[in-house]
Amino acid sequence: MRRKSVLATTLVLPVILLAAGCTSAAPEKSASPTPTGPAYVSTYEAPAATQLAPLRGNTVPAGTMDHPSLAAKIDNHEGARPQVGLDRTDIVFEELVEGGLTRYVAVWQYDIPSEIGPVRSIRPMDPDIISPFGGLVAYSGGQEVFVNMMMNTPVRNLVFDYDTSGIFYRYDAHEAPHNVILHASDAVKQAADLGAPQQQYAYSTDIATSTAALDGAPTANIAVVFSPERFPNYTWDEANKVWLRNQEGAPDLDDKGKQLQATNVVTMRVDIDGTYGEVPKTVLTGSGAATVSTGGKTINATWSKANAGSPIRFVDGNGVVVRLAPGNTWIELVPNGQGSVTLQ
């Protein structure tokens, strides 16, 4: 009997111990800490969307360039100087016309003035210059054959001779025919159905990273000769990082008395077509020699243009596309033979 009692005790004890383990109290939960400061609020703001101004290469707020470009034939006769609005152009082409004189095809899109001028007549090379920009072209008239050539492009024509809307007027500062002025900003507002131009050239982020500034030779002066009557030049202004423009040895001033200037100066050597007699036609399809000057330096380049509607393309000696600096550009269409370009 005693042996049975010991066995019973032995068998029961583990059960009692196991039961005791199952009924022990659970540990109390500790309270979560209560925040004592203000909740974190992020102050990050996503940067505003941007785009490049297509004819200048400047970075601008997205959507601000959603309007057409305006090209205009601008007079460069002594009786037309100083011109109105040339200081605010994106691109200016200088071309040879009859009598050894020059005229401009000036293009605005980034900063369109209220008025521009004096506006003069169209010439046979102008459709090839202006067509790639689309948008608007303003001129005073011209020979019927040249007007028809311009009318047969995708560009919307504004012609003083046909104007009934009052978008043009004559002003008193100059004598006719050097006094036709266009209400430029009004003209662009009335063409809201037209889109922005395509980007014409490649651009760097700043002057220092432009192709000419990186790879070019130092240049203090760019002297261009169209004829004995027209020989503009540009001098480098290191302090302001611009090319200052002169004509026939004197500063070329705008209507506010400030010397005209450019971020980029391009020269293109071009042939002259004599089909129209005393009216020279600059040949702009094909290719030829060029120079590109930015940041006080110049590189040799080659220009090419496949057809009237295609932009002009510039490549360096290795066939790499030339990058201009953001800013305005003057392009000198210098005739082969009678014209010249001298870099110093």
- Cβ-count burial 318-343 (b if 16+ within 10 Å, e if not): eeeebbbbbbbbbbbbbbeeebebeb
Given CATH 3.50.90.10, say whether it is the number of domain 51-343.
Answer: yes
Cα 109 to the center of its chain, rounded Å:
8
Instruction: Choose among 244, 226, 242, 224: nearest CA to 234.
Output: 244
Among the residues of 222-263, which ranges form H helices?
A: none
Strand 202-203 and strand 156-159: the pairing is: unpaired
Q: How confident is the model at residue 46, as a pLDDT?
A: 76
Strand 329-335 and strand 264-270: the pairing is: parallel
Q: How confident is the model at residue 39, as a pLDDT?
A: 74
Residue 133 contacts residue 107 (beta carbons within 8 Å): yes
Q: Mean pLDDT for each 10-residue chunk of the chain (344 residues)? A: 40 39 52 64 80 96 95 98 97 98 98 98 98 98 98 98 96 95 98 96 98 98 98 98 98 96 98 96 98 98 97 97 98 97 98
Residue 34 DSSP class = P
Q: How confident is the model at residue 25, as a pLDDT?
A: 54
Q: Exposed/middle/buried for 215, CB within 10 Å: 0-12, 13-18, 19+?
A: middle
For residues 219 and 283, give the distance between their C-alpha atoms in angstroms, rounded to a whole number: 28
